[in-house]
C-alpha cells in the first residue's frame, strides 16, 4: 500500500469504522444502518459489522486489465481516428498489453484498492478477540472477513501474477498481508503461497452460516452461503478443476437460482437525442435508447437488488465506454438475443462525442455507463455448470443447463435451445454463450485459464492492429503495427504500479518480461 493509504489506515485502527452510506431512498431495504460517532473506539461486534456493512468500500473493481486487455474491447485505428480525444493513454496501453509505460500510470489504482479491502478484512480479524459480542456474531464476521480477503487476493492474482500451474508455482505472487501492522513484510510471496492463502481463506469463508435470503430479503452485498459457493465455483473453474467447480455451482444454485427474464423483467428507459454532423448537409438528430438499468446513476438500490447477484461487486469503467469489438458483436443473434437489444446500445459513440464528423459504433451498457456486474451471479453459475458438465463429457446435462439460461435471455422460438453434434461442439457453443453473457468481466480470466489447460481447442492468442505510441501520445501519422499476446506470454501478469514499488522502498519487485 502507498504512504497515503498507510497513513489513513493507521488512524482507522484507532477510531470508528465507516458507517454505511445509504441514500434516504433506501427506506428499509438495507436496514442495517449503524450510527457510530466519529470518535468511538472499536469495542463491539457491532462496530466491526459497520465496516463490513459499508458496501461502498467493497463493491467497486476498477480493473483496467479486464476492461481493455481482451478481445472483447474493440479499439481500432478507425475508431480512434473518429475522435482521438475519446481515448486516454491507459486505454491504449492496457489494450495493447504495454509493459514500458503502464508502471508509471499514477491513476492505476486496482492494486491499492484491493489491498484496502484486504486491510479492512484484516482489521476485523485482528479485533475479533478484543471486542464484546456473541460467539455467533464473531463467527459470522470471521467468515465474512476471510471471504473478502480471498476474493481480493484472487482478483489481484489474476491481474498481476502469471496463471497458476505447476510450472509457475515458484513465480512471484503477491504481497501477503494477514495483519494491519506496518512492520509486516511487503515482499512478494511465491504464487504457490498466494494460492495456499486464498484456499485457506476460502475454507474459512465456507463455514459462514448466513444464507443469502433472510426473512424474505436477499442481502446481496454481504457474505453469504450462496456467494461463497459461487466464488468457490469461479475459483475452481479458473483452476481447471471441473469436478469441484461443478460441485460449488450446484451448491449455489440449490440455495438460490433466480434469473432475470429478459422477456418480462427488462424494459427500455431513458433516451438521449444528439445532433450529428451539425452545420453540414448530413446533419441529423439521432436517438440513443438505453435500458432502464442505465437510468439511476447514483442510486445503488436498483443495482444491489439485481436479483441475479450472489455477491454485489461491479466492474467500474473510468471512461464510460465498454467498447465492444466486432468479434464480440458478431457473437450475438441480433434478431432474437435480448442481451443485444438491451445492453448493446446502438449509436453509443455519439454519446462519447463522436458527432462531428460522426462515427457510429455501439457500446455495452448495463448499469449506467460505467458499471457491469462482476460478482458471482446465478447466470454465471448456470454457465459454470454447463461448461463443467461438457468438459466432463456429460453433454445432455450441459445443454440443459445452458438452455435454462438462454430461455431467460432470448425471444421465444426454435433458436432458444442450442444443440450439439458432439462434446467439442457443445463446449464451443457453451463458451460462446459465456462470452455473450459475461463480456469484459470474465474474459481475461477465461483466456488465462484456456491457455493453461490440457484442451488446445479453446486456446486464445490475442492480436490487435493499432498505431505506434509513446508514454504521452499516439503517433497516428505512422503506419499501424500488429500487437500480439501469445498464449505463453509473461505479459499475462500486468505490471505493478511503480508507486507501489517506490512506497515499499523496493521490497515489492516488478514483474519480468
Summarised one tens digit per residue, pLDDT across range 12-24 is: 333 333 333 333 3
Joined together, the cell numbers standing for residue 169 give 508455482
User: Is the CA virtual torsion 312, 315, 321, 323 positive or negative?
Assistant: negative
Residue 104 pLDDT level (bands cut at 50, 70, 90): very high
Render the burial of 167-178: b for 16+ CB within 10 Å, e for the rest: ebeebbbbbbbe
Which residue from 288, 284, 291, 292 is spatially nearest to 358, judged by alpha carbons?
A: 284
Inter-CA distances, 45 with 78, 126, 142, 227, 470, Å: 56, 12, 11, 22, 52
Task: Give the pLDDT band (50/70/90) at residue 40.
Answer: low
Specify the pLDDT at position 512.
97
Task: Tell me the pairing of strands 188-190 and 213-214.
Answer: unpaired
Q: Does residue 448 contact residue 163 with C-beta atoms inside 8 Å?
A: yes
Domains and CATH numbers, the chain: 43-224+464-512 (1.25.40.390), 268-300+323-364 (no CATH)
How many angstroms separate the CA atoms of 151 and 58, rounded?
A: 10
User: pLDDT of 354-394, one tens digit each?
Assistant: 999 999 999 999 999 999 999 999 999 999 999 999 999 99
**Residue 391, C-alpha cell as written in the block:** 468438459
pLDDT in tens, 110-142: 999 999 999 999 999 999 999 999 999 999 999
**By CB neighbour count within 10 A (0-12 exposed, 13-18 middle, 19+ buried), where does 317 fall?**
buried
318-2-474 Cα angle (round to 5)? 40
CA distance 161 to 110: 14
**pLDDT score for 185:** 82
Phi-psi region of 88 (alpha: psi -120 to 50; beta: other; left: phi over 0): beta
Do you know the residue count of the chain?
513
pLDDT value of residue 35: 39
pLDDT at residue 24, rounded to an integer: 30
Q: How confident is the model at residue 263 (pLDDT cuts 50, 70, 90)?
A: very high
The mean per-residue pLDDT over the stretch 452-475 comes to 97
Stretch 381-409: mean pLDDT, rounded?
98
Tell me how far apart the alpha carbons of residues 43 and 170 are, in angstroms, rounded to a whole number. 41
- Is 72 in contact with 440 (CB distance < 8 Å)? yes
pLDDT at 37 over 60: no
Amino acid at each position: 500500500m502507498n504512504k497515503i493509504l498507510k497513513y489513513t489506515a493507521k488512524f482507522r485502527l484507532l477510531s470508528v469504522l465507516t458507517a454505511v452510506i445509504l441514500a434516504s431512498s433506501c427506506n428499509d431495504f438495507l436496514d442495517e444502518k449503524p450510527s457510530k460517532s466519529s470518535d468511538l473506539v472499536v469495542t463491539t461486534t457491532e462496530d466491526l459489522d459497520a465496516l463490513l456493512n459499508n458496501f461502498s468500500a467493497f463493491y467497486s473493481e476498477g480493473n483496467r486489465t479486464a476492461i481493455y486487455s481482451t478481445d472483447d474491447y474493440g479499439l481500432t485505428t478507425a475508431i480512434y481516428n473518429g475522435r482521438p480525444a475519446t481515448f486516454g493513454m491507459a486505454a491504449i496501453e492496457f489494450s495493447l498489453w504495454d509493459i514500458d509505460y503502464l508502471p508509471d500510470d499514477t491513476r492505476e489504482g486496482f492494486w491499492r484498492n484491493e489491498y484496502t479491502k484486504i486491510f479492512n478484512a484484516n482489521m476485523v480479524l485482528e479485533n475479533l478477540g478484543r471486542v464484546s459480542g456473541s460467539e455467533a456474531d464473531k463467527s459470522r464476521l470471521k467468515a465474512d472477513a476471510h471471504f473478502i480477503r480471498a476474493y481480493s487476493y484472487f482478483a489481484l492474482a489474476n491481474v498481476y501474477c502469471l496463471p497458476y500451474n505447476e510450472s509457475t508455482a515458484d513465480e512471484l505472487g503477491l504481497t501477503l498481508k494477514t495483519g494491519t501492522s506496518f512492520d509486516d513484510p511487503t515482499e512478494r510471496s511465491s504464487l504457490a503461497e498466494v494460492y495456499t492463502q486464498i484456499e485457506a481463506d476460502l475454507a474459512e469463508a465456507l463455514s459462514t452460516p448466513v444464507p443469502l435470503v433472510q426473512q424474505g430479503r436477499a442481502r446481496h452485498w454481504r457474505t453469504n452461503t450462496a456467494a461463497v459457493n459461487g466464488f468457490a465455483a469461479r475459483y475452481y473453474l479458473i483452476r481447471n478443476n471441473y469436478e469441484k467447480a461443478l460441485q460449488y455451482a450446484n451448491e449455489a444454485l440449490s440455495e438460490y437460482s433466480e434469473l432475470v427474464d429478459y422477456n418480462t423483467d427488462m424494459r427500455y428507459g431513458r433516451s438521449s437525442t444528439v445532433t450529428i454532423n451539425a452545420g453540414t448537409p448530413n446533419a441529423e438528430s439521432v436517438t440513443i435508447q438505453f435500458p432502464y438499468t442505465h437510468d439511476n446513476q447514483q442510486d445503488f438500490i436498483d443495482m444491489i437488488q439485481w436479483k441475479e447477484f450472489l455477491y454485489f461487486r461491479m466492474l467500474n469503467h473510468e471512461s464510460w465506454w465498454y467498447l465492444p469489438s466486432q468479434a464480440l458483436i458478431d457473437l450475438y443473434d441480433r434478431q432474437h438475443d435480448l442481451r443485444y437489444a438491451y445492453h448493446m446500445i446502438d449509436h453509443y459513440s455519439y454519446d462519447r462525442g463522436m458527432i462531428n464528423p460522426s462515427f457510429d459504433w455501439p457500446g455495452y451498457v448495463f448499469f449506467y455507463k460505467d458499471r457491469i456486474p462482476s460478482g458471482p451471479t446465478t447466470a454465471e453459475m448456470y454457465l459454470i455448470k454447463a461448461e463443467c458438465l461438457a468438459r466432463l463429457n456429460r453433454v445432455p446435462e450441459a445443454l440443459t443447463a445452458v438452455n435454462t439460461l438462454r430461455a431467460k435471455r432470448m425471444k421465444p422460438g426454435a433458436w432458444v435451445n442450442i444443440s450439439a453434434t458432439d462434446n467439442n461442439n457443445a463446449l464451443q457453443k457453451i463458451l460462446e454463450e459465456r462470452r455473450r453473457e459475461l463480456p469484459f468481466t470474465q474474459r481475461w480470466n477465461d483466456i488465462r485459464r484456456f491457455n493453461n489447460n490440457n484442451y488446445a481447442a479453446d486456446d486464445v492468442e490475442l492480436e490487435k492492429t493499432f498505431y505506434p505510441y509513446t508514454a504521452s501520445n499516439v503517433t497516428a501519422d505512422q503506419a499501424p503495427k500488429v500487437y500480439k499476446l501469445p498464449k505463453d506470454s509473461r505479459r499475462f501478469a500486468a505490471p505493478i504500479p511503480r508507486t507501489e514499488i517506490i512506497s515499499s522502498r523496493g521490497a515489492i519487485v516488478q514483474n519480468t518480461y
